[in-house]
Amino acid sequence: MLNPLTSPLLAQFPLIKQGFFTRIGGVSQGVHASLNLSKTKGDHEEFVQENHNRIKEWFDKKPLILMNQVHEDNILFVTEALHDKILPKVDGLITNSPGFVLGVLTADCIPVFLADPEAGLIGAVHSGWRGTVKNIAGKTVQQMKKHGANKIYASLGPAIGQENFEVGVEVYEAFGLKFKDFFKASSSPNRYLCDLKGIIVSQLTQKEVQAIEVLPYDTYASPELFFSCRRSTHQGESQFGCQFSGITISV
């Protein structure tokens, strides 16, 4: 039985149905156990499809719209379901249609839900460090406003926390001095601990969203609940799974 985490901020709006799914409740095995939704990380296709079907059931059998996530800042306004096919290379989705679910796959990166219940607009964002440098979440807010959004609420789902997100000088320099306060020195030379969630909150605040919520879950630190690319790498595992986060407009 699926029991996803939900955003308390967005749960107050009957128009919105959303869930940050954990790794629990699927049929995949081994390092992919059990609710893996990625078809590109070495899992059996039939297992991934069954996991996919279970999430669709939770969303009242609506099609799931998945992105071909490439850590860039491309955003797509979706007007119709694409029969569960993966979309072109985008990291942000927007819609005003209740006919499908906007989905994000993550294994440490940050899934971001955006919603303006009054305007009937929702967004889903995949924001890793490269996409965050490009301000993918803030740019998705801008696109929503172009389509009529005014009061946008944002929820950041489970992702790697600062204490476990050690990065090199190249990442620190990519963000520049503007975000230096979101880094602190690691115990390793020339390494930093990056507060990626904090950076996204700062970017969204500058876009004057109505309210922002950050769910207090670290994917790296919770192997019983979440897949983590970095944790799998540190454990010498060549494969890993991805959890699903989805948001839709209820009817």
pLDDT at 81: 79
Confidence (pLDDT) at 220: 98
Supply the pTM of this predicted model.
Answer: 0.98
Domain of 220: which CATH number?
Answer: 3.60.140.10
Cα radius of gyration (the chain)? 17
State the pLDDT at residue 112.
Answer: 99
Q: Supply the pLDDT for residue 45.
A: 96
φ, ψ of residue 198 in degrees (nearest 5): -65, -35
158, 217 contact by CB (below 8 A): yes
Is 204 part of any domain?
A: no
* Residue 236 placed within a domain: yes
User: What letter would DSSP give residue 98?
Assistant: S
Q: How far apart are CA 89 and CA 74, in angstroms?
A: 7
Residue 195 lies in a domain: no
**Segment (H or E) for 211:** strand 211-214
173: in domain: no
Query: Domain for residue 239, yes or no?
Result: yes
- pLDDT averaged over every residue in the chain: 96
In a domain, 186, yes or no: no
Is residue 74 included in any domain, yes or no?
A: yes
How much is the pLDDT for 85?
A: 65
Please report whether residue 167 resides in a domain.
Answer: no
Domain that holds residue 144: 8-160+211-249
Query: Quick one: pLDDT at residue 86?
Result: 66
Pairing of strands 211-214, 243-249: unpaired
**pLDDT given at position 56:** 97
The pLDDT of residue 88: 80
Q: Please count the structural domains in the chain.
A: 1
Low pLDDT (below 50) residues in the chain: none
Instruction: Please tell me the distance from the alpha carbon of residue 29 to that of residue 90, in angstroms, as a whole number.
Output: 29
Task: Supply the pLDDT for residue 105.
Answer: 98
